[in-house]
Amino acid sequence: MTGPSVPAADWWRQAVVYQVYPRSFADANGDGTGDLVGITHRIPHLVDLGVDAVWLSPFYPSALADGGYDVDDHRDVDPKIGTLAEFDAMVAALHAAGIKLIVDIVPNHSSDRHPWFRAALAAGPGSPERDRYVFRHSDDGPPTDWTASFGGPTWEPVGDGWWYLHMFAPEQPDWNWDHPDVREDHERTLRFWADRGVDGFRIDVAHYLTKDLSGPLPTQAEIEAGTVPEGTHPFNDRDDVHEVYRAWRKVFDEYDPPRMAVAEAVVPTHRRPRYASADGLGQAFTFDLLEADFDAAQFRAVVEQNLALARAAGSTSTWVLSNHDQVRHTSRYALPTGTSLPAWLLSDGTTPRADEARGLRRARAATAFLLALPGSAYLYQGEELGLPEVADLPGVVLQDPTWIRSLGTTKGRDGCRVPLPWNTDGPSFGFGPEDGRPAHLPQPPWFGRFSVQAQAGDPRSTLAFYRTALARRRELVGGEDLDPLDSPDGVVAFARPGGWVCATNFTTRAVPLPAGEVVLCSSGDPSGTGVTELAGGTTVWLRRAD
Ligand code: NOJ
């Protein structure tokens, strides 16, 4: 949210941020991969949608061992995606359209093609070059039995009796954050992008980075049992990681307005405020809503808890239903409660059967709920189209390292990363030019039905709903308070400052509307014209004299 009443430094506190996964957004040069020029061309879509900021997932040079989160050079653009000049042009065009830009920073690891990692391998054991990463000697198998995020051990041998640590894929060696070069280099990276006009940073796995492997080290079983004391874990959510963020805050504050940051910190809820503190990153993601069932009690509890946590940190909460790591929320809500999503993906989306109409109805209701909450709303590209997960991608096209590293037992995240459909037809549904190469992940034949073109002229479409919701939010949003309202069982209702009321019916039966003039409805016509009751699986916003 921006406007005369919001100090420039606080623009992010109640912003609507739209996540662009650049390789799958828009392909201007026709090589099958999305690019920066493609993003620039599609800025009118973002303006029509009404977002305040874009969060751009990694666009840095990368071999794509992990979708770009394996970074070869943090201060450049992947030549397959564009150039620094095209980046500058994109920033200028976004800013001219009144949209801010947040870029992804990946500080826990580099790629194994990073010049410093190559130098570390070449220089050999005990060298200063190796000291920038986390190497351990062991003649007897991996130094610990820890399991990496995509499966397999966290240690990779380099052939001389030494192993390097990687919390993710082997192509993502972890930095040694005790090394001053690593700290200085990351501050240089932050300034590099801030100097180019970037307004903020999304910090990847902010809970890792610092490590203390001086031992004795816990086993995987001990880690999973949660017996390691908080704050002194060998690699996770250590108290000393905040020294890094306090130093970064000084860098952010060199700019006017200060650059913002949002932590991806997957930590116990009570540890999250540390990441969101004003002398640290300033804001932290909460994924609690994303993990909740479509259930009034769960949604209510998540909101209460997270608003309290954000207040404790002096920050605002973040709200997320979909991102590039998750099964799209339209599809999640289409499945029976308790469905194992990996098992559903492995069945190519056949078992259990998805009730798509129910999924979309609930997704729209949950989105309207989220957009009425105090704090920042993070939307993921394609959710404004109600795009379902592409659950039936065959193994041969999958790019997520999870697929290979789980030996074909877990499909991973490609189903939410399929390039967007812009047009009803054409070789890539308008993702790339007519004569371009096919999209880098195959789009299903039904994609055109969800395209921007198919929905743009339909006043009841999901796209029309998002546009209306974001426009209304801009008119209604003011102070950061939320007052819970009494409501029937299965309904959550609350008031925001200025006479804005939101009510969500999580049941399947209609209930009476709260008092006020309906200004948004998540089902049917988004304007809410003629709505006389709060239907099941529906959110309404109302305006009333306060
Ligand atoms: C979190 C990112 O969201 C995910 O996509 C990535 O695989 C890991 N961090 C590793 O960087």
In the predicted model, what is the mean pLDDT of residues 292-301?
98
* Cβ proximity of 41 and 376 under 8 Å: no
pTM to 2 decimals? 0.98
Ligand 1: list residues with CB < 6 Å. 66-67, 69, 106, 168, 204-205, 264, 324-325
Which of 66, 323, 405 has most ligand 1 atoms within 8 Å of CB, for mutation? 66
Matching residue, tokens 């894929």: 169
Residue 209: strand, helix, or coil: coil
The percent of residues in the chain predicted with pLDDT above 70, rounded, is 99
As a whole number, the mean pLDDT across the chain is 97
Q: In what order do the strands lie in the sheet with 155-157?
A: 135-137, 162-165, 155-157
pLDDT confidence bin for 545, thresholds 50/70/90: confident
* Cβ proximity of 20 and 30 under 8 Å: no
pLDDT in tens, 210-266: 999 998 999 999 999 988 889 999 999 999 999 999 999 999 999 999 999 999 999
- Tell how far the Cα of 325 is from the centroid of ligand 1, in angstroms: 7
220, two tokens: 């995987």
Phi/psi at 266 (nearest 5 deg)? -90, 85
Q: Which atom of ligand 1 is nearest to the CA of 167?
A: 10
The percent of residues in the chain predicted with pLDDT above 90, rounded, is 97
In the predicted model, what is the mean pLDDT of residues 323-336?
98
- Tell how far the Cα of 106 is from the centroid of ligand 1, in angstroms: 8
* Cβ proximity of 242 and 274 under 8 Å: yes
* Cβ proximity of 441 and 399 under 8 Å: yes
pLDDT in tens, 424-434: 999 999 999 99
* Cβ proximity of 21 and 57 under 8 Å: yes
Instruction: Flag whether pLDDT at 4 surpasses 60.
Output: no
pLDDT confidence bin for 3, thresholds 50/70/90: low
Per-residue confidence (pLDDT) for residue 85, from 0 to 100: 98
Per-residue confidence (pLDDT) for residue 215, from 0 to 100: 82
527, two tokens: 């304007």
pLDDT in tens, 358-384: 999 999 999 999 999 999 999 999 999
Residues involved in catalysis? 204, 254
pLDDT in tens, 169-181: 999 999 999 999 9
- Give the chain's length: 546
Using alpha carbons only, what angle is made at residue 249 by residues 233 and 373, rounded to the nearest 5 degrees?
85
Give the separation between CA 501 and CA 516, rounded to whole angstroms. Answer: 8
In the predicted model, what is the mean pLDDT of residues 26-31?
98
- Tell how far the Cα of 261 is from the centroid of ligand 1, in angstroms: 16
Residue 265: strand, helix, or coil: coil
Per-residue confidence (pLDDT) for residue 10, from 0 to 100: 96
Give start and end residues of each alpha helix (H) in 25-147: 36-41, 43-49, 84-96, 115-123
Who's near 109: CB < 8 A, 6+ residues apart?
Answer: 70, 166, 167, 168, 172, 173, 174, 175
